[in-house]
Amino acid sequence: MKRTIPFSPKANAPKLPKLDIVHDFEQYHSVNKKYYPNPITAKSANQFNNKSRAKPIEILGKLQRKQKPLLKETSTVIHWFRNDLRIHDNLALYKCVELYQQLKQNNPNAKLYAIYVINEDDWRAHMDSGWQLSFILEALKNLQKSLAELHIPLLVWKFDDFKSSLSNSKEFVTFFKEKCLELTSGEPVAITANIKYQTDELYRDIRLLEHGDQQLQLKLYHDSCIVAPGLLTTGKGTVYSVFTPWYKKWVLYLNKHKENSSGICHLYEIKPAKYNEKFELEPFDYSLPEEFVKYIPKSQWSLPEASEAAASSLLNNFLQTKSSKYNNAKDMLSLDGTSGLSVYISTGMISTRLIVNQAFQVANGQIMSKALKDNSSIQNFIKEVAWRDFYKHCMCNWPYTSMEIPYRLDTLDIKWENDPVVFERWCIGNTGIPVVDAIMRKLLYTGYINNRSRMITASFLSKNLLVDWRWGERWFRKHLIDCDLSSNIGGWGFCSSTGIDAQPYFRVFNMDLQAKKYDPEMEFIKKWIPELPNSVGRRSKDYPEPLVDLRDSRERALEVYKSAM
Q: Which is nearer to ligand FAD, 346 or 397 (CB)?
A: 346
Of 35 and 387, which CB lies nearer to ligand FAD in the complex structure?
Answer: 387
For ligand FAD, the closer of residues 116 and 494 by Cβ is: 494
Instruction: Calculate the CA 26 to chain-centre distance.
Output: 23
Q: Name the minimum Å distance from CB 119 to ligand FAD.
A: 20
Give the closest residue to 464 by CA, choosing from 559, 528, 563: 559
Q: Please state, in angstroms and rounded to a whole number, the distance separating the CA atoms of residues 169 and 203.
A: 9
* CB of 251 vs ligand FAD, minimal distance in Å: 15
Q: Cβ of residue 473: shortest distance to ligand FAD, in angstroms?
A: 7
Report the relative pairing of strands 189-194 and 76-81 from DSSP bridges.
parallel
Q: Between residues 414 and 443, which has the closer beta carbon with respect to ligand FAD?
A: 443
The residue whose Cβ lies closest to ligand FAD is 491
Closer CB to ligand FAD, residue 304 or residue 340? 340
CB-CB contact of 155 with 112 (8 Å): no
* Residue from 433, 455, 429 nearest 444 by CA: 429
190 or 481: whose CB is closer to ligand FAD?
Answer: 481
Region of 541 (left: φ > 0; alpha: ψ -120 to 50; beta: rest) is alpha
Closest contact distance (angstroms) between CB of 345 and ligand FAD is 4
Torsion (CA) 201, 205, 208, 211 in degrees, nearest 10: -120
Please state the closest distance from residue 266 (CB atom) to ligand FAD, in A: 20
How far is it, in rounded angstroms, from Cα 123 to Cα 288? 11
Rounded Cα distance between 171 and 55, Å, is: 23
At its nearest, how many Å lie between ligand FAD and the CB of residue 480? 5
Question: Cα–Cα distances in Å, from 7 out to 14, 22, 445?
Answer: 14, 12, 12
Closest separation between CB of residue 18 and ligand FAD, Å?
27
CB of 439 to ligand FAD, least distance (A): 11
Tell me the residue type at 228. A
* Residues binding ligand FAD (CB under 6 A): 330, 338-342, 345-346, 384-385, 387-388, 391, 450-451, 454-455, 458, 476, 480, 482-484, 487-488, 490-492, 495
Longest dimension (CA), the chain: 80
Tell me the C-alpha distance between 188 and 185, whole Å: 9
Query: Which helix or strand (DSSP H or E) is residue 216 part of?
Result: strand 216-221
